[in-house]
Structures are given as structure tokens and as C-alpha cells.
Amino acid sequence: MELNISNDSVAERIESCVDEFHKIGSIISGMGSMSHPVPYLTRYSIIRACGTIEYGYKTIISDVNQDSQTEQIKNFINKRFRNSSMNPSYENIISSLRGFDNNWAEKFKTEVNALEYPTKVKSSLKSLNEARNAFAHGGSPSTSFLNVEVYFGDCVKILESIERAILD
């Protein structure tokens, strides 16, 4: 996966997730896709992917101009945003960006809509969140491991769009 993220901690988290997906894919391939542990590996992958995207979007936003932030501002951002729990939905990302700067939100929407397949990317983000929520609320997500990998790759494009929107 080609990665265009300048935030080092976000890039490392994405790369770690991708590496883990390669290992899980090898395990599934070795056992067979109908093997009993596959749904558990898939559910783990859903949580891992969604958590990585949530971490990424919050970290990219929180780290902007961090060196020039006062300790009080850093504490506020950490408590109210970075360390809060929030699904990384398209709507939540826009709302978060708008909370910092309306222009960031508008630039982000422009960046996403300029992607080669913006509807697919938004759909992948929605599907990943829906799968995570289904599992978190006691359900059984019906998505496959291969779908999770595709969703994750598309969601990384969302993170790249956030970064372009707020750093330009």
C-alpha cells in the first residue's frame, strides 16, 4: 500500500495494521476461508482497522501546530478530542474538522470528492464503521476479511485527505 501520510505516528500505526493484515491473510489462506477461527480473525481485523482509522484522524488533527500550542491547549485537545471515543464516520470527521476550522471541513470534503472513487471511499468508511458497530453491540458482522482489507485501504485515503486539507 502506497502511503502519503506525513504524521509519523499515524504512518507507523497504519503500517503496523497492514503488516498484521498480511499475517492474518496468511493464516486464513493456510487454514482455509471456511475454517472455524476465520470469523474471529475477521472481527479482530474490523476492530483493528477501525481503531487505526480513529487514532489516525484524531492524531492528524490534534498534532497540527502542536509545537506552538500552550500546555493548556494541548491538555484541552487531548481530553476533549484526542482521548475521546468517537467512531471515525465521515460525518464525525467533518464535524470534528468544523470544530477546529470551517475551512478545514470544506477543504476535506473537496479533497475526498477529488479522489478517483469518492463514493466508494465514503462507502468503505461507512461499511467499516457499521461492521465495527454490529460487532460491538453483540451482532455478527457479515463482512469478509478481504472486504476489511479493501475498506481499510480506502479509509487510509480519508486520512490522507484530512492531512492535505489541514496542512495546505
DSSP string, 93-123: HHHHHHHH-HHHHHHHHHHHHTSSSHHHHHH
Count how many domains the chain has.
1
Residue 1 lies in a domain: no
Quote the pLDDT of residue 34: 87
Question: Residues 75-108, buried b or exposed e (16+ Cβ, 10 A)?
Answer: eebeeeeeeeeebbbbeebbebbeeeeeebbebb
100-157: pLDDT as tens digits: 999 999 999 999 999 999 999 999 999 999 999 999 999 999 999 999 999 999 999 9
Per-residue pLDDT band for 1 (boundaries 50, 70, 90) equals: confident
Domain that holds residue 37: 8-167
Quote the pLDDT of residue 33: 86
Q: Is the pLDDT of residue 59 over 90?
A: yes
Residue 2 lies in a domain: no
Amino acid identity for residue 45 in this structure? S
Per-residue pLDDT band for 65 (boundaries 50, 70, 90) equals: confident
Residue with cell 493484515: 21
- pLDDT average, residue stretch 155-163: 98
Q: What is the 3-state secondary structure (H, E, C) of 117-145?
A: CHHHHHHHHHHHHHHHHHHHCCCCCCCCH
Quote the pLDDT of residue 2: 84
Q: Is the pLDDT of residue 10 over 80?
A: yes
Percentage, residues of the chain above pLDDT 90 = 85
Q: Measure the CA–CA gap between 165 and 168, rounded to whole angstroms.
A: 6
Quote the pLDDT of residue 4: 92
- pLDDT average, residue stretch 67-79: 89
First to last CA, the chain: 23
Rounded to two decimals, the pTM is 0.94
Quote the pLDDT of residue 91: 97
